[in-house]
Amino acid sequence: PLSLGKSSITKAILQQNAFIVYESLKMIIVVLKRVGKLLQDVDESETLGDRKAVSDAIQEAARQRLPDVQSLLSMRSKYDFYSTKSKNGMEVNHLVGNLVLETLTLY
C-alpha cells in the first residue's frame, strides 16, 4: 500500500515485539522478490525501449520505500542465532535471524 512507507516499515522492523518484526520481514521479502521478478521481466523485454532507465526507476522506487540496509544490519546483531543473553529465546532469534539474512541476501 502507498501509505506504508520507509519510516513505517523501519519502525516495524525495529520493534521490540518479535512477531511484528517477523511479519514485517516477511512482507519485505515478498516485496523484494516481486521487484526482482519485475527487474528480470524488464531485462528480458524485447519491446521496452530504454530498459536501463526503467530498471533504475524501479530500483529507486523500491529504495525510497524500503528500510535502509543499516537497519537490517543492526537487526542481525540483535537477533544473533547464538546469543544466550536474549530475552526472546533461541527459537525466536533463529526464526527472525533467518529472515534478516534472507532479506539482506535479496537487497
Q: What is the 3-state secondary structure (H, E, C) of the chain?
A: CCCCCHHHHHHHHCCCCHHHHHHHHHHHHHHHHHHHHHHHHHHHCCCCCCHHHHHHHHHHHHHHHCCCHHHHHHHHHHCCCCCCCCCCCHHHHHHHHHHHHHHHHHC
pLDDT of residue 88: 55
- Residue 31's pLDDT band (cuts 50, 70, 90): very high
Average confidence (pLDDT) over 19-30: 93
